[in-house]
């Protein structure tokens, strides 16, 4: 089976490329820049700007994937708020280009897996798949618009919504929140972390396994692939400190009012994962186990 992954240099993209290639899938990893995924290269890599229609059409036609996993995006809410036209181009128009390119393939049966986000919802989480949407910021709005295009495409599709992804990092990957906590505490640097927001953080390897299950079983529809623990960022930081044996007294418990955030974020977010558990055999790790795997602690 041939799988094209967009955003392959990103946090999820790198993990997913390595995960699916190791399982024996033929992977075409696509990203804007040069390949930053570590060796061994048991996949093909192509640099491609997905905001340019013709190169997208050409690449999809030549590779003729059975599945596209579309993970590329401007994934930072602050960046989307600051530059709304760029956000729409990358998150919505580029999704349309990929859908058109896939629709044009002669077999017409390739599957489109869109990586969305919990930010399509507003308050009162954790949310189930069909709950009412109500994005609180432009990033969430752009991801919801892209979801609608995917739903209307006529292609077999899945929409996957993860939350606050974390996991191992290596050179070429930006540090996740857990690494930010570790790096600061190791330097004896105090940090302020909010305790009035709730999330269900997703361990990236669970997310990769969930996506693999969707591909393998040709599952269509919307799936929440998140963690099973409902936690505040402060609790995540405290757990990280405890497991790494770092000084938790450096972690100041603050509310979101302490930060002048340019983007509105839900206080009670997080996603329910019952559907994925039943239909995909999804079995995410406990958050503390995810921390141990992230830092390779046995």
Ligand X SMILES: NC(=O)c1ccc[n+]([C@@H]2O[C@H](COP(=O)([O-])OP(=O)(O)OC[C@H]3O[C@@H](n4cnc5c(N)ncnc54)[C@H](OP(=O)(O)O)[C@@H]3O)[C@@H](O)[C@H]2O)c1
**Residue nearest to ligand X according to CB distances in the complex:** 10
Q: Which range, of 162-170, 185-193, 244-252, 280-288, touches ligand X by CB under 6 A? A: 162-170
Integer angstrom CA distances of residue 237 from 99, 158, 242: 39, 32, 9
Binding ligand X (rule: CB under 6 A), the pick from 63, 121, 164, 287 is: 164
Question: Residues 190, 94: contact at Cβ < 8 Å?
Answer: no
Among 3, 5, 11, 294, contact with ligand X (rule: CB under 6 A) = 11
* 253-257, long-range: CB < 8 A, 24+ apart: 253/193, 253/195, 254/192, 254/193, 254/194, 254/195, 255/194, 255/195, 255/196, 256/194, 256/196, 256/197
| 221 vs 197: CA distance, rounded Å | 28
Judged by CB under 6 A, the chain residues 184 through 203 that form the site for ligand X are none
Binding flags for ligand X, 75-104, as an x/- string (CB under 6 A): x--------------x---x----------
* Under rule CB under 6 A, residue 31 binds ligand X: yes
Is residue 262 involved in binding ligand X (CB under 6 A)?
no
Contact call for residue 208 and ligand X (CB under 6 A): no
Q: Nearest approach, Cβ of 90 to ligand X (angstroms)? A: 5
Closer residue to ligand X, CB minimum distance, 161 or 182: 161
The span from the CA of 298 to the CA of 287, in Å, is: 15
- C-beta closer to ligand X: residue 61 or 109: 61
Options 3, 4, 5, 7; binder of ligand X; rule CB under 6 A: 7
- Kindly state the number of chain residues that form the binding site for ligand X, as judged by CB under 6 A: 25
| Interacting residue with ligand X among 72, 101, 178, 222 (CB under 6 A) | 72
Q: Is 32 in the site for ligand X (CB under 6 A)?
A: yes
- Provide the residue count of the chain: 298
Member of 21, 73, 185, 237 binding ligand X (CB under 6 A)? 73
Site residues for ligand X, window 33-62 (CB under 6 A)? Answer: 33, 48-51
Is the Cβ–Cβ distance between 24 and 1 less than 8 Å? no
| Burial bucket for residue 201 (CB in 10 Å: 0-12, 13-18, 19+) | buried
User: Residues 5, 12, 21, 222: which binds ligand X (CB under 6 A)?
Assistant: 12
Question: How would you classify residue 64: left for phi > 0, otherwise alpha for psi between -120 and 50, otherwise beta?
Answer: left
**Residue with Cβ nearer ligand X (166 or 234):** 166
Smallest distance, ligand X to C-beta of residue 8, A: 7
Site for ligand X in 106-145 (CB under 6 A): 115, 117
The residue ranges that bind ligand X (CB under 6 A) are: 7, 9-13, 31-33, 48-51, 71-73, 75, 90, 94, 115, 117, 162-165
């Amino acid at each position: 089976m041939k799988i094209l992954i967009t955003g392959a240099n990103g946090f999820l993209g790198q993990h997913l490329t390595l995960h699916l290639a190791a399982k024996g899938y033929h992977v075409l990893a696509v990203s804007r820049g040069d390949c930053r995924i570590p060796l061994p290269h048991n996949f093909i890599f192509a640099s491609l700007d997905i905001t340019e229609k013709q190169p997208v059409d050409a690449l999809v036609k030549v590779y003729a994937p059975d599945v596209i996993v579309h993970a590329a995006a401007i994934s930072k809410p602050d960046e989307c708020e600051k530059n709304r036209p760029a956000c729409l181009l990358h998150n919505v128009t580029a999704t349309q280009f990929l859908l058109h390119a896939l629709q044009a393939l002669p077999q017409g049966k390739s599957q489109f897996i869109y990586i969305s986000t919990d930010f399509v919802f507003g308050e009162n989480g954790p949310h189930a798949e069909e709950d009412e949407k109500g994005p609180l910021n432009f990033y969430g709005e752009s991801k919801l618009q892209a979801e609608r295009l995917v739903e209307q495409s006529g292609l077999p599709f899945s929409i996957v919504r993860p939350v606050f992804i974390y996991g191992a990092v290596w050179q070429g990957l930006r540090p996740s929140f857990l690494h930010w906590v570790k790096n600061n505490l190791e330097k004896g640097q105090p940090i302020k972390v909010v305790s009035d927001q709730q999330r269900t953080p997703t361990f990236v390897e669970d997310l990769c396994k969930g996506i693999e299950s969707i591909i393998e079983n040709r599952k269509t529809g919307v799936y929440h692939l998140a963690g099973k623990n409902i936690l505040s960022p402060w609790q995540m930081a405290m757990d990280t400190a405890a497991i790494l044996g770092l000084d938790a007294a450096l972690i100041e418990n603050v509310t979101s009012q302490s930060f002048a955030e340019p983007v509105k974020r839900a206080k009670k977010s997080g996603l329910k994962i019952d559907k994925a558990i039943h239909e995909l055999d999804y079995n995410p790790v406990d958050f503390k186990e995810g921390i141990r795997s992230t830092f390779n602690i046995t």
